[in-house]
Amino acid sequence: QVQLQESGPGLVRPSETLSLSCTVSGGSLSSEYWHWIRQPPGKGLEWIGFIYYSGSANYNPSLKSRVTMSVDASRNQFSLKLNSVTAADTAVYYCARRGGPGYVDLWGRGTLVTVSS
């Protein structure tokens, strides 16, 4: 069965770039949309954006100026970069698979990223 696993630094300095990858195992990136979603400690879910396996992407307007997503089909991975981070970007970051318009049917376990000096 398909599984998702996030990876990347757990601590990022303010003003630097947060970089995370998500590895898809047991399946292929092809013909799917892949999401990034985050959850600040004790708060709700926030959609960051999605990327299609071909590389086309759509981002949350509130984060669009700072977000870049990419796909590496050779490694069966997709990635998130969020630049100019502040403490407000501290959150558990989830990668996920789109099941269809308006829903996610598979989630990674999430990885906590803390922004602090």
Partner 1 sequence: QSALTQPASVSGSPGQSITISCTGTSSDVGGYNYVSWYQQHPGKAPELMIYEVSNRPSGVSYRFSGSKSGNTASLTITGLQAEDEADYYCASHTGANTLSFGGGTKLTVL
* Nearer residue to partner 1 within complex by CB, 71 or 108: 108
Measured in degrees and rounded to the nearest 5, phi and psi for residue 74 equal -65, -25
> Are the C-beta atoms of 24 and 6 separated by less than 8 Å?
no
41 binds partner 1 (CB under 8 A): no
> Minimum distance between the CB of residue 79 and partner 1, rounded to whole angstroms?
19
Tell me the C-alpha distance between 111 and 95, whole Å.
9
* Nearer residue to partner 1 within complex by CB, 73 or 92: 92
* Nearer residue to partner 1 within complex by CB, 45 or 87: 45
